[in-house]
Structure 1
Amino acid sequence: SKCGGEGQIIEKKCPECNGRGVTSGSATVNVKIPAGVAAGNYLQVRGSGDFGPKGGSPGDVIVVINEIEHKQFTRHKDDIICEVALSFSQVALGAEIEVPTLDGTTKIKVPSGTQSGKIFQLRGKGIPHLNSYGRGDELVRVIVWTPEKLSDEEREIIRKLGQMRGEKPPKADKSFFEKLRETLGGR
């Protein structure tokens, strides 16, 4: 039929909507993103979608969350992971270092003899829990930085140190992921 099941025929159709009662357009919708949302979460903004036919109620806008990779942090659930490069002297002798956090920076003590790959856990410095109190943790992984160029004097000092200690590095006991799993407690 000519009415298309609508029950009436519109003789004089509006040139903008062609008798449908709605026009297409675009609008900006402000959305408050709660702390702690993760990629794949979605938010429903009620009543901000298209209007229904014949003046029906407007639908909802569904916003799907996507995360942009951060240059310093990697996210694992509500925990964040960052790596800090330290010199041999810092890990051998111990040092107090400044590390980045989501809220700025904080200082941590690196004990003497710290090995490359060691993970320090900063409780409550991670992502806020969604719809809950508290935050995840920040995991700081130490990487020993090795200089690419050494002077002749520096080479000689390092060579002498190695000879004095008769050094041979021990076999790695655990992989990075095993250490991470232990630190996260199976999370």
Structure 2
Amino acid sequence: MSKRDYYEILGVARDATEEDLKKAYRRSAMKHHPDRNPGDKASEESFKECKEAYETLSDTNKRRMYDAHGHAAFEHGMGGGGPGFADMGDIFGDIFGNIFGGAGGGSRGPRRGADIGYVMELGLEEAVRGVEKQIEIPTLDECETCDGSGSQDGKLETCSTCQGRGQVRFQRGIFSMQQGCPHCGGRGRIIANPCGDCDGQGRVERTKTLQVKVPAGVDSGDRIRLSGEGEAGPAGTPPGDLYVDIRVRDHEIFQRDGDDLHCEVPIRISQAALGDSIRVPTLEGEIELRIPAETQSGKTFRLRGKGVRSVRSRSTGDLFCRVAVETPVNLTSEQRELLEKFEATFSGDGARRHSPKSSTFLDGVRVFWDRMTG
């Protein structure tokens, strides 16, 4: 069975530029890719056929030989090894690498605009509840005058240096070498009438204003991607993406640990000893917390479901309130007298049962000194 003409397979003219070949290859490869046509042998063969055609015509040397000798150029070793078939991993990488600007061979110049980053600072309340913020980004944006094409009238001319092939060949001694055309940047075409506003670049420096919707529950280190909001690509190529990195400022009351919140609640000695009901803050307003009698400083109370609702699992964390018993200051003479009378009641051995931590500490000190002096 005779092979079909490579130009016919890709549906391009024989003087097609490299860019024409890429567009035709992408269109045909996407249509016949095995992942899109599972089990379809005809589509798989068509896919291999268009890949073979593109591999040959996109290579300057192979294309010149094919134009001169047709398929015979790669038979019986004439071409130094004809176009073969890679495995599916290589095929997949070829489509999304070479065509879309990846690391695959044959890629020349940028295929999309650069990604840019922005750090957004939020208060804890904003991060917990979600917020929509307006930001300003200095960037390279698409030229509105030429719609990013770089051309004043939309017309392109075949590059006179490389004759539309995107590559040039030069001789250095006995060696013949080729490289991307420096005149057209490897595109094979040049802009006939460059846009006056962007000098033919298709993009201009501009401060872009964007509305960013931050979902509820984000935390420091989270990242929001805005597809296509990065720098515009040169001469109409796709734009990059904008990555918004979240940084949550420290809060005056709460410390966040994942989806949990922690806070310290000061109480008086009398409240700790006798017990009391106090009001404590939460993200939803104040609630009542019951302090049992004889509560020690450092005791932590857990309020379930009063933390942060996760942006990922949608579960809600807890609030941990750690009580700190405060020593009273600025005492009046009456208060001082009452405390002195109160302290006098702790004299003698009976005082040990009122101060469990002090008793344990003093017992430990005695054991320590006994070891040191024994």
Q: Where on the TM-score scale, by shorter chain, does this alignment land: which range? A: 0.7 to 0.9
Which of 276, 279, 282 does residue 95 from structure 1 map onto? 276
TM-score, scaled to structure 2:
0.43
Bigger mean CA offset, 57-66 vs 112-121: 57-66
Q: Structure 2 unaligned runs (5+)? A: 1-181, 361-374
1:52-67 equivalences in 2 (<5 Å)? 52-67=233-248
Letter of the aligned partner of 1:97 in structure 2?
I
State the TM-score, normalized to the length of structure 1.
Answer: 0.83
What does the per-residue CA deviation read over 1:121-143, in whole Å, with 9 as the maximum and x for residues that have no partner? 00010011122232111011111
- 1:85 CA drift (Å): 1.1
Q: Which has the higher helix share?
A: 2
Moved over 6 A (4+): none
User: Which moved further from structure 2: 126-135 or 65-74?
Assistant: 126-135
2:253 aligned with 1:72:
yes
Instruction: Tell me, in whole angstroms, the C-alpha distance in 2 between the residues paired with 1:12 and 1:36.
Output: 51
Q: Which has the higher contact order (CA 8 A, sep 6+)?
A: 1
| Stretches of structure 1 lacking an aligned partner (at least 5 in a row) | 174-187
Deviations 1:78-118 (A, max 9, x none): 11111111111111111111100011111110011111111
* Local SS of the residue matching 2:297: coil
Alignment partner of 2:203 out of 22, 29, 34 = 22
Distance 1:172 1:31 in 2: 59
Hey, what does 1:7 align to over in structure 2?
Answer: 188
Distance 1:126 1:30 in 2: 28
Q: Match for residue 130 of structure 1?
A: 311
Distance across 1 between alignment mates of 2:312 and 2:258: 14
Supply the distance in 1 between the matched residues of 2:222 and 2:332 (Cα, whole angstroms).
54
Instruction: Give how far 1:50 is off.
Output: 2.3
Identify the residue that residue 212 of structure 2 maps to in structure 1.
Answer: 31
Matches within 5 A, 1:141-156: 141-156=322-337
Residue-by-residue CA offset, 1:124-163 (whole Å, 9 max, x unaligned): 1001112223211101111112222112221121122122
Please state how far the C-alpha of 1:11 moved relative to its aligned partner.
5.2
The share of aligned pairs that are identical, in percent, is 42
**Counterpart Cα distance in 2 of 1:32 and 1:74:** 24
SS of the residue aligned with 1:39?
Answer: coil
User: What is the DSSP-based 3-state SS (H/G/I as helix, E as strand, rest coil) of the residue aligned with 1:81?
Assistant: strand
Cα distance between partner residues in 2 of 1:171 and 1:68: 39
Name the stretch that deviates more: 11-20 or 103-112. 11-20
Aligned partner letter, 1:45: L
Equivalent residue pairs, number? 173
Whole-Å separation in 1 of the counterparts to 2:295 and 2:209: 52
1:184 paired residue number: none
Distance 1:32 1:9 in 2: 40
Q: Distance in 2 between matches of 1:171 and 1:22?
A: 74
Provide Cα deviations, 1:1-58, integer angstroms capped at 9, x if missing partner.
Answer: 3333343344543332121111121212222212221111111111222222222223
The answer on whether the counterparts of 2:301 and 2:320 sit within 8 Å (CA) in structure 1 is yes
